[in-house]
């Protein structure tokens, strides 16, 4: 009987970005990010096929480069950071599509709502850095409807334009360090 070797990878926040984009007034896009987050990937051997991924972000670390908007996002109109301090993701399927490309299905929890989401993952490569650490880079993208997660605040301008769009694009450029 052969046993496979489990490999644990931890996110390197100094070489990663976790962003989201949402339409504002239907005419422009606001980009936000999380400054405090954590994530791991557990693999069997060197391949990421069937890997197990987890991710969490601290809601209080949200930034859209506008303090008033950030405070509104942290309020009960949106994330309710006081009661629900983190959003969380846990993969249930990490499927290899072709070399360097994966589809990841997982449970995303925002506030007290958990829904399945599908993310596209591109593995940019794995290298050993000058300090002897093995690192893997990924671009992760997807889209969610914010209202599915209880982020239902809405307003309409006098002209009838929606202030905040429902679709939120997720864009993560993350580097993991083999531990």
Percent of the chain with pLDDT over 70: 87
CATH class belonging to 6-178: mainly beta
Q: Where are the domains of the chain?
A: 6-178
Q: What are phi and psi of 36, to 5 degrees?
A: -130, 120
Whether the pLDDT of residue 162 is over 80: the answer is no
Of 15-19, 20-24, 131-135, minimum mean pLDDT range: 20-24
Whether the pLDDT of residue 59 is over 70: the answer is yes
Of 28-37, 43-52, 139-148, 157-166, minimum mean pLDDT range: 157-166
Q: CA–CA separation, 57 vs 62, rounded Å?
A: 9
As a residue count, the chain comes to 179
Average pLDDT along the chain: 87
pLDDT for 71: 92
pLDDT band at 91 (very low <50, low <70, confident <90, very high): very high
Which two tokens mark 30?
A: 């606001």
Q: What average pLDDT does the segment 154-167 reach?
A: 56
């Amino acid at each position: 009987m052969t046993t496979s070797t489990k490999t644990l990878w931890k996110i390197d926040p100094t070489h990663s970005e976790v962003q989201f984009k949402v339409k504002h007034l239907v005419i422009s896009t606001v980009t936000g990010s999380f400054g405090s987050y954590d994530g791991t990937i557990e693999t069997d051997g060197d391949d990421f096929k069937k890997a197990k991924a987890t991710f969490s972000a601290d809601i209080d670390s949200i930034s859209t480069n506008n303090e008033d908007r950030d405070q509104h996002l942290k309020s009960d109109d949106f994330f309710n950071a006081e009661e629900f301090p983190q959003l969380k993701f846990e993969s249930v399927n990490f499927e290899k599509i072709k070399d360097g490309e994966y589809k990841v299905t997982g449970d995303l929890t925002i506030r007290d709502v958990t829904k399945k989401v599908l993310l596209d993952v591109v593995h940019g490569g794995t290298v050993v850095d000058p300090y002897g650490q093995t690192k893997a880079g990924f671009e992760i993208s997807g889209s969610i409807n914010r209202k599915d997660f209880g982020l239902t605040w809405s307003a309409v301008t006098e002209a009838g334009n929606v202030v905040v769009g429902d679709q939120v694009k997720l864009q993560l450029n993350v580097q993991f360090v083999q531990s």
